[in-house]
Structure 1
Amino acid sequence: MFKPTVGPIIGHTTTNHARIFLRGDSSKDTHAFAGIRYRRLGDEHWSNGVFAELEKARDMSAVLVLNDLAADTVHEYQAGWFSATQPVGPAEAMRELPLKWPGKIHSLRTRSNQTGKPRAYVVGSCRYLRLTAGIAAEPHLGDRMFATIATLAEQAEPPVSAMLMTGDQIYVDDLNFIAPDRELKDILLKYRVAFSQPNIAKLMSALPTYMILDDHEIEDNWPANKNKSDDFLYANALNAYEVYQASHGPAHELCHDGQVDRKLDKYWYLFTDGDIEWFVTDSRTRRNLAASDRRILDIEQEQALCAWLINSSARVKFVVTSVMFYPDSKRQGDDAWQGFPEQRLRLLETIRSHGIRNVFFISGDVHGSLTSRLTHSADPDFEIHTIVSSPLCNSRLLPYAKASTFILDQPLARTAAGDYRHELTSEVISQDNFAHLIVDSGQVQVRYHDREGNLLQSINIKLREGLR
C-alpha cells in the first residue's frame, strides 16, 4: 500500500466513531482503493481493514468511518491506498489480500462521555497560502502556525478535543487580478497543496478538525460581487469544498452500514462534546440579498438555530459564524452580520426573551482577534460573548484589524425595550495567531498564541449559572 497523497484527515469524532479522509491517486485502466486499520493504544492486534473504492469524481478521495471505538481512548491507525487492474470485490475479499500497510502509525483520541469534564479546543481562520502554477510560494509561512498548534495539542491539559477552522481555509481568489482560478482541476489542486503541507498534515492526522467555508473558498465577498459568468466558478468551488472540507464533517449522515452517506443537502451542522454543543452555521452560501428580506442565514437554518438555542440543555453553546456577529466595522460594508441587522436582532431577542445563558459566537474573517461582551440596557440577565480568531497566516497585501477598525462608541442595536451595548473584553490582536479555548466548570478561558507559541493574551469569561 502507498501512503495517502493527501491526509489522513480526522474529521467528526464522537465517543465511539471517527471519520477519516484520505486521497490516493489514479492511473489508466486501474482501480484504486483506500484502507484503514486501527487498534487501541497498547493492543497488539489490528482490526480488520475498512476499505472504500476511490473515484475520480471525488478527486480519488474517500472518507472511511471507524466504528465501535472506546470512549476517551487513544487509538492507533494506519492509512493507505492501493491499486488493482480489476475490481477487488466486497470488503471481506479485500481483507484477504496480502496488503503491506504503510509503516506510519497515527493516533487519535475519542471524545469523553463524562459531562462536566473540562474540554479544550483550538480555533483559527484565514490561512493564506499563495499558489503559482500549483506551487506554494513561501509555504513555511502558511504552514508554520500548524506546527505550533500540534505542539500545544500534544502537551495540553485538558486534551484538545478538536480544531475549528472557521473559514478561508484556502484562497481560490488569491490571484484574481492576474489569473483567477475557475476550473475544478485548479481549485482541487489548491486543496491538495494546502492540506498536504507537512505541519498541517501532521496536525490533522491526529486532531479532529471541523471546517466551514467563508468567501475566499469561492470569491471575495461572495455573493455580493457575483456576476452571471460566476455560476461556473461557484459550482466548481462548492464541488471542491464538499470533497475536501464538508466530506468528513457532521453535515453528512451515516448509512445503515456505519459509513458516510454521500448525500449532502446543507453545509451547516451541529455536534456535541459532553455538555458543550456547537452549531456551525453556513453564513455564506444561503444568503438572500433582496432588500425586502435580507438574510445571511436562510429560513430553515435560522429556525433550526433558534430551536437549538431554546431547546438545548447544553451548559455552553458555541455558535460558529465565519463572519463577525459583532462588533461592527467602521468601514461601510455589508458582508458580515452588520449588513443583516434585522436577522441579527431576531437572534438576540430569541436569546434574551428565553433567558438563554452562556452563548458564545465564534468567528474569524477580519484578520484580527478579540473577545467582546454584549449586554442589554434594561435586562441585566442578558449577556453573550463573541470570540474572534483570525488570521492563521495573513497575506502581505492585506491589513490587520485594530481597535480603531470597529464601532465601539454606540449601541449595537436600539429597540423599544432597550439598547444592546457591547464592549471589548480584550485587546485587539493585530498579527497572525490562533485561539486556545479551555472550558471548565466556571469559565471559558481564551488564550491567544502567536506562530511561535508565545502567549499573546489570556481572557477569562465567567460562565453564568442557571437552567438555560
Structure 2
Amino acid sequence: MSRLVLGPLLRYVDETCAAVWAEVDRPGTVRVTAGEHVAEARTFTVHGHHFALAELDGLPPGAALPYTVDVDGERVWPEPDSPFPASVIRTRGEGRGLRLLFGSCRTSVPHDMTHILSHGVDVLRAYGVRMAAEPPEEWPDLLLMLGDQVYADEPDAEMKEYIAARRGDEEPRGEVADFEEYAELYRRAWTDPEIRWLMSTLSTAMIFDDHDLRDDWNTSRTWREEMLKLPWWRRRVVAGLGAYWVYQHLGNLSPSEREADAVFKALRENDGDGAAILDEFALRADEDPASYRWSFARDAGGSRLIVLDSRCARVLDPGARSMLDEGEWAWLDAHLTGDVDHLVIGSSLPVLLPSGLHQIEGWNEAVCAGAWGARAARVGERIRQAVDLEHWAAFRRSFDRLAGLVKEVAAGRRGAAPATILFLSGDIHYSYLARVRRSRVYQVVCSPIRNPLGLVIRIANAVASLGVASLIGGLFARAAGLSAPPYRWKIQEGPWFHNSVATLDLRGRDAVVRWHTAKTATEPPELTPLKTVPL
C-alpha cells in the first residue's frame, strides 16, 4: 500500500487554481479530489525520493472545498480517525481582503518539558491547535514562512544520531551533508500532526534564510572563499538548494511560472531518477545566481506581496556589493508599483533594523572595504562573521536603492500610493514594529517561531534599540565616512523576545498586525495574544 512520507502541503492558491504537493514512498499517481474537481499528477523522482504536485484548475472563486488525496487509487489523506477538521482549499474571492500568518526561525525539537525549557513552545503548533477549533472563515489566507524553516547546520540531538548512524564521524560532523539528510530534516520539521494539518489547509509560501543552508550563508566574498576550501561544502550547497527547490520553492510558483520552469519540465519528463538534473541545476544556481530567480510575487485581496531572495542573489564582489543582482533589481523595479491597497515586501532579513545596529552594520561594511586600512579590514571581517552583520544595512548601496524605490511608491510616483508599505521580516530572533517618520512605511518583524535567544544576547539587542545606541552607531558610521540614511525611522512597539507568530489583516485601506505567543506548560499548547497594533 502506498503511503504519504510528507504532506499534503497546500501551496499556491488563487481565485480558480490550487496546487497540492506531496512526497510518497514509491513512484505512482497522486490524485487530489475537491468536490467535483479532480487533478492527477505522476510522481517525479530525485535521489530515491518521490514527489508530486497536483494542480486543480477551474475552481469556483471564494469557495471552501474539502479535499482528499489518493495514491494509485488508495486513500492516503485524511488519515483514518484524524482528530482534525477536513483539509480545505479556500480560493480567493472578491472583497475578502487578505490575512497573512507569518514568522521565521523554527527549530524542530520534541515538545516535552526538557525542550520547552530550552526552546520554548512551538507557537506555529499552538496556532494550528487554535485554528482547528475555529470556523474556516476565521483562518488566515496564507502562511508566509520567512526563513530558517530547517536548521541544516544545527540539527537537534535525534537528527544528529540519524546522521551519525549513516556516516559516523565523516565531515561535516553533526550537520546535514546531502539530499537524503535534507529529506529527513524536512520530514521531521513538518510531520507533527498539528503542523501537518495546518500546512495541508493553509496556502503556504516560503523563502530561505541562512540556516536553510548554513549560518552566515553568503555574508561576504571572504566567507564564500573560506567555505569553498572545505571538501564537503559543494555537496552541501548542491543538496541544500536542490532540496529547497523541491520542498519549498516549487510550490511558490504560479501555474504559468511552473509551466515555464525548465527544471520542473525536465524532472517531469525524466523516466528515471532525476538526481543529476536537480544537482546540476543547484550547482549552477549557486555559482551563477543570476541564472535562476527565487523571488516571487502574488496579488491577492487588493494587495501585492513581493517576497525577495536576500541570500542567493547577492553580489559579493568588493566595491560592488549588492543584496540583489541586476536581474533581481529589474524584476523588483517592475513589481514595486502603486495602484494597490497595500504593498507588502517580504525579506527574511529586516530592512529597517534598530537604528544603532543599522549604523554599526554600515560602519562594518565600510571598514571591511578598507575605510580604516587593511589591518582594520581583516578585523572587521572577523567581526562581521562573528556577530552576523549581514542585513540590508550591511549592503548600504542596496539599502539606499531600495529606499529610493519605496519612496517613489509612497509618494504616488508609481501609481496611486498604497495605504501602507510594509516590510515583513524575521531572522533576528526578536519582534518589533518600526515606522519611517512622516510616512506609512513600516517594518514588521516576527521571529522566532521556536528558537529563543539567550539572556545575554537578548540584553544586547534590547540595548541596541535604545536611542543612545543610535547616537553611538552614528558616530562610528560618520567616522567611516558614511552619510546619513535616506530614511529616519523609530521602533514604535517592542522589542519582544517571545517565541511568536504574527498575523497581518488587510481589509480595504485598513491594516492591523497582531503578534501571538503561547502559554508554557500546557498540552496541547495554548495560543495567547502578545500585541495588537492598527497601522
Please report the TM-score for the alignment, with normalisation by the length of structure 1.
Answer: 0.81
* Cα contact 2:341–2:509 (8 A) shared by 1: no
Which residue of structure 2 aligns with residue 20 of structure 1?
Answer: 20
Task: Report the secondary structure of 1:205's partner residue.
Answer: helix
* Cα contact 1:318–1:362 (8 A) shared by 2: yes
Task: Report the secondary structure of 1:231's partner residue.
Answer: helix
Superposition pairs of residues 83-232 of structure 1, within 5 angstroms: 99-102=73-76, 104=78, 106-115=86-95, 117-130=96-109, 138=115, 144-154=122-132, 155=134, 159-175=139-155, 178-224=173-219, 225-226=223-224, 227-228=227-228, 229=230, 230-232=233-235
Task: Report the secondary structure of 2:4's partner residue.
Answer: coil
1:66 to 56, 69, 88: 56
More displaced stretch, 402-411 vs 435-444: 402-411
Q: How many aligned residue pairs are there? A: 420
Q: Which amino acid aligns with 1:9?
A: L
Q: Which amino acid aligns with 1:336?
A: H
* Cα contact 1:166–1:363 (8 A) shared by 2: yes
More displaced stretch, 405-414 vs 10-19: 405-414
Q: Distance in 2 between matches of 1:296 and 1:419?
A: 17
Q: Does 1:267 align with 2:298?
A: no
How far the C-alpha of 1:152 sits from its partner, in A, is 4.4
Q: Distance in 2 between matches of 1:232 and 1:261?
A: 24
How far the C-alpha of 1:130 sits from its partner, in A, is 4.9
Q: Does 1:368 align with 2:430?
A: yes
Which residue of structure 2 aligns with residue 86 of structure 1?
Answer: none
Q: Distance in 1 between matches of 2:235 and 2:407?
A: 42
Q: Distance in 2 between matches of 1:171 and 1:367?
A: 14
Q: Distance in 2 between matches of 1:71 and 1:440?
A: 18
More displaced stretch, 262-271 vs 338-347: 262-271
* Cα contact 2:425–2:444 (8 A) shared by 1: yes
Q: Does 1:277 align with 2:277?
A: no
Task: Report the secondary structure of 1:348's partner residue.
Answer: helix
Q: Does 1:300 align with 2:327?
A: yes
* Cα contact 1:306–1:347 (8 A) shared by 2: no
Q: Does 1:454 align with 2:528?
A: yes
Q: Distance in 2 between matches of 1:193 and 1:2?
A: 20
Q: Does 1:344 align with 2:399?
A: yes
Which residue of structure 1 aligns with residue 246 of structure 2?
Answer: 243
* Cα contact 1:119–1:158 (8 A) shared by 2: no
Question: Where do 5+ consecutive residues of structure 2 fail to align?
Answer: 80-85, 156-170, 268-280, 282-291, 362-383, 412-416, 519-525
Residue 367 to residue 16, structure 1, CA distance change in 2 (3 Å)? same
Please report the TM-score for the alignment, with normalisation by the length of structure 2.
Answer: 0.71
Q: Which amino acid aligns with 2:531?
A: Q
Residue 142 to residue 195, structure 1, CA distance change in 2 (3 Å)? farther
Q: Does 1:323 align with 2:301?
A: no
Task: Report the secondary structure of 1:160's partner residue.
Answer: coil
Residue 118 to residue 51, structure 1, CA distance change in 2 (3 Å)? closer
Q: Which amino acid aligns with 1:126?
A: C
Question: Where do 5+ consecutive residues of structure 1 fail to align?
Answer: 40-45, 83-98, 132-136, 462-468
How far the C-alpha of 1:103 sits from its partner, in A, is 6.0
Superposition pairs of residues 403-418 of structure 1, within 5 angstroms: 403-406=462-465, 408=467, 409=470
Q: Which amino acid aligns with 1:268?
A: S
Q: Distance in 1 between matches of 2:89 and 2:32?
A: 16
Which structure has greater helix proportion?
A: 2
- The alignment's C-alpha RMSD in Å is 3.1
How far the C-alpha of 1:211 sits from its partner, in A, is 0.3
How far the C-alpha of 1:453 sits from its partner, in A, is 1.1
Residue 391 to residue 305, structure 1, CA distance change in 2 (3 Å)? same
Q: Distance in 1 between matches of 2:266 and 2:17?
A: 17
The Cα offsets for residues 277-308 of structure 1, whole Å up to 9 and x where unpaired, read as 10000001011122211111111112221222
Which residue of structure 1 aligns with residue 508 of structure 2?
Answer: 441
Q: Distance in 2 between matches of 1:321 and 1:166?
A: 7
Between the aligned residues of both structures, percent identity stands at 21
